[in-house]
Amino acid sequence: MKKSEHPEKSKYSETGVDSRGAESSLSGLLKHVLPTREFNPRYPTRINIGYFANVVDFGNGVGVAFSTDGVGTKVIVAELMDKYDTIGIDCVAMNANDVLCVGARPVSMVDYIGCSFTDERIFEALGKGLAEGARQAGIGISGGEISQVREIINGIDLIGACIGHVRTDQINTGKDIRPGNLIVGLASTGVHSNGLTLARRALLGATREEQKARARQFSPELGRSIGDELLEPTRIYVQVALEMMDSGIDLKALAHITSGGFCNLNRVEKDDIRFVIDSLQPIPAVFALIQEQGPVEDAEMFEVFNMGTGFCVVVENPGEADAVLAICRKHGVPSQVIGYVEGCHGKEVAVPEKKLVGRGQKFLSS
């Protein structure tokens, strides 16, 4: 893995994904959206915008958590492989995993398919994946929408929104984290559903024609085609996380490791702490290939991808960490203690092995 300064222009921005532009655009949007929280005081929201999910307070201790997300350009990999029966799993995962992070039990989901065409075979495959994701998460799909917008979309876009139930006195935003707490990492299944634009450019080429020609090629390093590797569904952590909650383990925080990587730990509502990731889980081979063929610097790899850890829980002590690890083993989810929390001025994530420090959603070489 390379260790050098974060480049002035990232490989991700070269693919057309402008994270800095997205941040400034979001500021303009939120200037108008944030005041709407006051429009319905009878049902207030309980969490600041920017967390993994939010919670609406319905009174009498009843909270409804909700979140929305899509599968991004992973749908292009499905198109390249003509294989659409797994991205529905990703859609459920990206939403249900986020709802978990506020301490909620995912309950139901709706989906939105924006498309430039309708095809019975492809839409049946999408439904198959959504149903399998719902089965794994233990939720129902209560509705959805298909919108034919040929002038806007060339292909398919798959998005979902999930709700969950949580008692308002049990909302978890990480505010009780303390120095000395331990971080347990739950393994990802690979790239999941973030950074696919960069992954495709690095592994398959710059143009859609190049990507289509290479997607089915066998990769000795991966033991299968690159397309099949990139289509590996996002792991759904619902059942394992719910057993942790139900077992009485004092979970100080739960974090879905998506775009932003370990910097997602910085979303917690607790200041003056540093998350030290000093024992990385095995990094899947696909990330080494992306980094080598990109080429992509360490800072950007850890900023864009999960790097082998798809979900984190923060616990009080070694005994509770052991209880978390035991539940993970029961569910067949590889896991390990990957670090600890210490005090600092501000809030950051450190990955000493890679000499990286992350503040906000950005990693820099230290």
- Burial category of 267 from C-beta neighbours within 10 Å (exposed 0-12, middle 13-18, buried 19 and up): buried
Cβ atoms of 103 and 171 within 8 Å: the answer is yes
Tens digit of each residue's pLDDT (9 = 90 or more) over 54-97: 999 999 999 999 999 999 999 999 999 999 999 999 999 999 99
In whole angstroms, what is the distance from residue 256 CA to residue 273 CA? 19
Task: Output the pLDDT for position 5.
Answer: 43
pTM here is: 0.94
DSSP state of 317: S
Closest CA relative to residue 92, chosen from 125, 56, 136, 53:
136
The share of the chain scoring above pLDDT 70, in percent, equals 96
Amino acid at 42: R
Task: Output the pLDDT for position 15.
Answer: 74
Rounded to an integer, the average pLDDT of 23-37 is: 89
Domains within the chain, CATH numbers bracketed: 43-170 (3.30.1330.10), 182-365 (3.90.650.10)
In whole angstroms, what is the distance from residue 239 CA to residue 250 CA? 17
Tens digit of each residue's pLDDT (9 = 90 or more) over 137-148: 999 999 999 999
Closest CA relative to residue 266, chosen from 281, 252, 255:
255
Residue 160 has pLDDT above 90, yes or no: yes
The share of the chain scoring above pLDDT 90, in percent, equals 92
Q: Largest Cα–Cα distance of the chain, in whole Å?
A: 59
Task: Output the pLDDT for position 25.
Answer: 83
Closest CA relative to residue 242, chosen from 111, 96, 87:
96
The alpha carbon of residue 34 and the mean position of all alpha carbons in its chain are separated, in whole angstroms, by: 24
Structure tokens at 36: 């709407």
Rounded to an integer, the average pLDDT of 92-121 is: 98
186 Cβ contact list (under 8 Å, min separation 6) = 235, 237, 240, 309, 310, 311, 312, 313, 328, 333, 334, 335
